[in-house]
Structure 1
């Protein structure tokens, strides 16, 4: 699960950065505000890559997905990109857990006495 989720988060890092560049061109927004919000989200996405095995990391990732979708109120294309990354996050968590379960099952079979896998 960690590999799939980390890949999604790194992709989000770049999308958030590019969305920040677009948001800077929006009238009424100061660059400091844009980069405070975008920078925080970018740092969070990178930090989550290393914290995926800890409790609450997946839930924090979902909060990041909601924030990414909500950023569509500033940069409208982010409604679409946020939804795409939310779907990728779901797939990463869902299928990543299935892969982890299969790996654990195969490791248990290989470690069982009388197995021919060794």
Structure 2
């Protein structure tokens, strides 16, 4: 196999004399994002928020439930003035739940999530079985917020301890 075949089509257009210079290594693909170009081997990964991941998961699942709830209420109450309102409000609330996923890293996003939980429980006044669903999602939301924050704190403590250890033992890595 020749040298051109091992490099593959990823590095087409690269000057062979550029190999080894920062950002022009032969293993890098030809097209990279800004974050990919800035990355270097051994660079620590940016920590992701577990609370944001957990709460976003709950909100997306709630959005599906809200869509199906709206469709069910539309079908059950077809022909009444309530039907389009029930569908419209539940679809709007589902959209808010999905859009709130972008805000869960901030306190306002968590408050919006709590409001969605209250409205989901309140939907039991329209359909009594939604009380079970609302309470279940409320508990899931509470767990995602509290346990996610606890795991995030533990991850920060672990990263700080690892950084201190790396400073104390520079030749161990």
Q: Same fold (TM over 0.5)?
A: yes
Q: Which segments of structure 1 move beyond 3 Å, counting only runs of 4 or more?
A: 27-31, 115-118
Measured in 2, the distance between the counterparts of 1:43 and 1:29 equals 22
User: Number of residues paired by the alignment?
Assistant: 118
Measured in 1, the distance between the counterparts of 2:125 and 2:150 equals 35
Does the 8 Å contact 1:23/1:29 carry over to 2? Answer: no
| Contiguous gaps of at least 5 residues in structure 2 | 1-50
Alpha-carbon deviation of 1:111?
Answer: 1.3
* Further displaced range: 30-39 or 11-20: 30-39
Measured in 1, the distance between the counterparts of 2:145 and 2:81 equals 35
**In the alignment, which of 62, 66, 69 is matched to residue 118 of structure 2?**
66
* Higher normalized helix content (fraction of residues): 1
Measured in 1, the distance between the counterparts of 2:86 and 2:95 equals 14
Measured in 2, the distance between the counterparts of 1:29 and 1:81 equals 25
Measured in 2, the distance between the counterparts of 1:109 and 1:60 equals 34
Query: What is the TM-score of this pair, normalised by structure 2?
Result: 0.63
| Contiguous gaps of at least 5 residues in structure 1 | none
* Further displaced range: 10-19 or 107-116: 107-116
Kindly indicate whether residue 75 of structure 2 is the aligned counterpart of residue 21 of structure 1.
Answer: no
Q: Could you tell me which residue of structure 1 aligns to residue 54 of structure 2?
A: 4
Query: What is the TM-score of this pair, normalised by structure 1?
Result: 0.91
In structure 2, do the counterparts of structure 1 residues 48 and 9 end up closer, same or farther at CA, with 3 Å as the change threshold?
same
> More relative contact order in 1 or in 2 (CA 8 Å, sep 6+)?
1
Q: Could you tell me which residue of structure 1 aligns to residue 144 of structure 2?
A: 92
Which one has a bigger Cα radius of gyration?
2
Alpha-carbon deviation of 1:66?
Answer: 0.3
Measured in 1, the distance between the counterparts of 2:101 and 2:120 equals 17
